[in-house]
């Protein structure tokens, strides 16, 4: 698949203009990011096979990592160790891979895998094998958002934002937006959850539901997504100044950059239970100042969530690396040597 990437040339990221509330730790995020650029080192184990990853975001992350300055050939310099294996690997082969890593290299035993990370598009399944249990419990898993499978451990795991091509048009001078909310549904997409709510939205004059976005994204105050369905264009919505609304009846733990940015500053999360009336009440309750702030923060967040053909500062690749950097502190057990 030939992937094309978007370039956000319209906006230049300057730390001074950022709305600091977007970041969970606004005081430390940028100095820590700079420290990462200077010192972060990752050791990659020799890959087990040549064809590795199936989704474009995994492939692109891996390629960007290989071309990045974060790689070291010297494991004694490494903060983290990357264990590459195909997402389609069988449990048996995965167990064998970890066992071999444990025997042939001294690094796994020091932390039982806690300073290791791996890519797996939909997550590694539970297993009774000791090797896989250690990988799953201790190592950092990078998978693809959204992770509807539940194979995700919030305090350590990370998700990759989807890769999605779009062009950012100049912000329109026309501030009037025709619709309160817009929902893009593709013909092939059958949403089993929330079918009743979607029907209500479809029949409500303030909302627009159709298949093809562009103009409607720009002409709507809010862009509606059902969690777990096609969310690939969420970043496009933010960049196009349409505030994302995520419809979900349970807390979402796997949002990309969840421990770096404050998602409540850029998106609205609503349940489905009170129907289109409840949805409208929530959206109408957002004041104009708050709305403008969400638009601004969303435009900045879109740069952190967007991929570039060549990695840019503060883009999705660098922000995933930053999440790994935040997870580098692990205790390494000294080997007990008998005298
Ligand atoms: C790591 O520990 C296991 C025992 O759990 C041992 O069999 C293995 O040889 C150790 N690896 C190294 C490289 O010392
Ligand atoms: C501009 O505003 C008008 C309403 O005044 C609306 O009908 C039109 O679709 C808007 N156009 C764009 C491109 O936003």
Q: Residue 10 carries which DSSP code?
A: S
Burial 3-32 (b: 16+ CB within 10 A, else e): eebbebeeeeeeeeebbeebbeeeeebeee
Nearest CA owner, ligand 2 atom 2: 176
pLDDT at 305: 96
pLDDT at 16: 41
Does any ligand 2 atom lie closer than 6 A to the CB of residue 330? no
HSE, side-chain direction, 13 A CA sphere, residue 35: 8
Collapsed DSSP state (helix, strand, coil) of residue 246: strand
Does any ligand 1 atom lie closer than 6 A to the CB of residue 106? yes
d(CA 181, CA 205) in angstroms, rounded, equals 10
Ligand 1: centre distance to CA 104 (Å):
8
pLDDT at 190: 57
Does any ligand 2 atom lie closer than 6 A to the CB of residue 174? yes
37 to each of 69, 80, 268, how far by Cα in Å? 8, 14, 32
pLDDT one digit per residue (tens) for the chain, 339 residues: 333 444 433 344 444 445 558 999 988 888 999 999 999 999 999 987 776 898 999 999 999 999 999 999 999 999 999 999 998 899 999 999 999 999 999 999 999 999 999 999 999 998 899 999 999 999 999 999 998 777 999 999 999 999 988 877 666 666 688 899 999 887 655 566 788 899 999 999 999 998 876 778 888 999 999 998 888 899 999 999 999 999 999 899 999 999 999 999 999 999 999 999 999 999 999 999 999 999 999 999 999 999 999 999 999 999 999 999 999 987 777 665 444
Rg, the chain, Cα only: 21
Ligand 1: centre distance to CA 46 (Å):
19
HSE, side-chain direction, 13 A CA sphere, residue 226: 20
Instruction: Indicate which atom in ligand 1 lies nearest the CA of residue 106.
Output: 13
Does any ligand 2 atom lie closer than 6 A to the CB of residue 178? yes
- The tokens describing 194, both together, are 């929330």
Ligand 2: centre distance to CA 174 (Å):
6
Angle between helix 316-326 and helix 29-39 axes, rounded to 10 deg: 90
Mutate to test the pocket of ligand 1, among 98, 101, 103 (most ligand atoms within 8 A of CB): 103
Express the helix, strand and coil content of the chain in percent, nearest 5 each: 35, 15, 50
Ligand 1: centre distance to CA 80 (Å):
19
pLDDT at 288: 94
Nearest CA owner, ligand 2 atom 7: 178
Instruction: Indicate which atom in ligand 2 lies nearest the CA of residue 218.
Output: 14
Does any ligand 2 atom lie closer than 6 A to the CB of residue 175? no
Long-range contacts of 192-199 (CB under 8 A, 24+ apart): 193/226, 193/228, 193/272, 194/226, 194/247, 194/272, 196/272, 196/275, 197/247, 197/272, 197/275, 197/276, 197/279, 198/226
Nearest CA owner, ligand 1 atom 13: 106
d(CA 307, CA 315) in angstroms, rounded, equals 6
Ligand 2: centre distance to CA 285 (Å):
23
Provide the β-strand partners of residue 268.
245
Does any ligand 2 atom lie closer than 6 A to the CB of residue 219? yes
pLDDT at 21: 84
Collapsed DSSP state (helix, strand, coil) of residue 221: strand
Collapsed DSSP state (helix, strand, coil) of residue 329: coil
pLDDT at 339: 45
Question: Backbone phi, then psi, for 270, in 5-degree steps?
Answer: -130, 150
Mutate to test the pocket of ligand 2, among 176, 208, 215, 220 (most ligand atoms within 8 A of CB): 176
Ligand nearest to the CA of 112: 1
Burial 303-316 (b: 16+ CB within 10 A, else e): bbbbbbeebbebbb
- The tokens describing 22, both together, are 């977007």
């Amino acid at each position: 698949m030939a992937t094309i990437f978007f370039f956000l040339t319209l906006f230049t990221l300057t730390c001074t203009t950022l709305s600091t509330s977007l970041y969970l730790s606004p005081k430390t995020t940028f100095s820590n990011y700079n420290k990462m650029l200077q010192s972060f080192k990752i050791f990659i184990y020799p890959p087990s096979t040549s064809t590795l990853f199936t989704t474009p975001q995994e492939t692109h992350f891996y390629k960007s990592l290989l071309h990045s300055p974060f790689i070291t050939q010297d494991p004694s310099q490494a903060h983290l160790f990357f264990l590459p294996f195909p997402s389609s690997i069988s449990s048996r082969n995965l167990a064998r891979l970890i066992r071999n890593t444990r025997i042939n290299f001294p690094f796994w035993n020091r932390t039982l895998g806690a300073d290791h990370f791996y890519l797996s598009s939909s997550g590694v399944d539970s297993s009774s094998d000791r090797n896989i249990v250690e990988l799953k419990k201790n190592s950092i898993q990078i998978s693809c958002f959204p992770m509807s499978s539940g194979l995700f451990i919030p305090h350590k795991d990370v998700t990759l934002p989807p890769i999605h091509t779009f062009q950012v048009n100049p912000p329109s001078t026309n501030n009037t937006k025709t619709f309160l909310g817009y929902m893009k549904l593709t013909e092939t997409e059958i949403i089993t959850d929330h079918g009743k709510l979607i029907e209500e939205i479809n029949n409500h004059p303030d909302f627009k539901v159709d298949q093809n976005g562009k103009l409607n994204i720009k002409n709507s105050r809010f862009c509606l997504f059902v969690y777990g369905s096609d969310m690939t264009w969420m970043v496009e919505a933010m960049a196009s100044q349409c505030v994302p609304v995520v419809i979900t009846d349970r807390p979402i733990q796997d949002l990309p950059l969840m421990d770096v940015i404050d998602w409540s500053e850029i998106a609205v999360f609503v349940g489905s239970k009170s129907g289109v009336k409840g949805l409208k009440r929530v959206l109408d309750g957002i004041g104009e100042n708050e709305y403008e702030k969400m638009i601004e923060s969303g435009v900045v967040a879109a740069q952190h969530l967007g991929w570039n053909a060549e990695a840019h500062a503060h883009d999705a690749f660098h922000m995933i690396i930053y999440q790994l950097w935040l997870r580098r502190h692990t205790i390494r057990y000294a080997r007990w040597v008998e005298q």
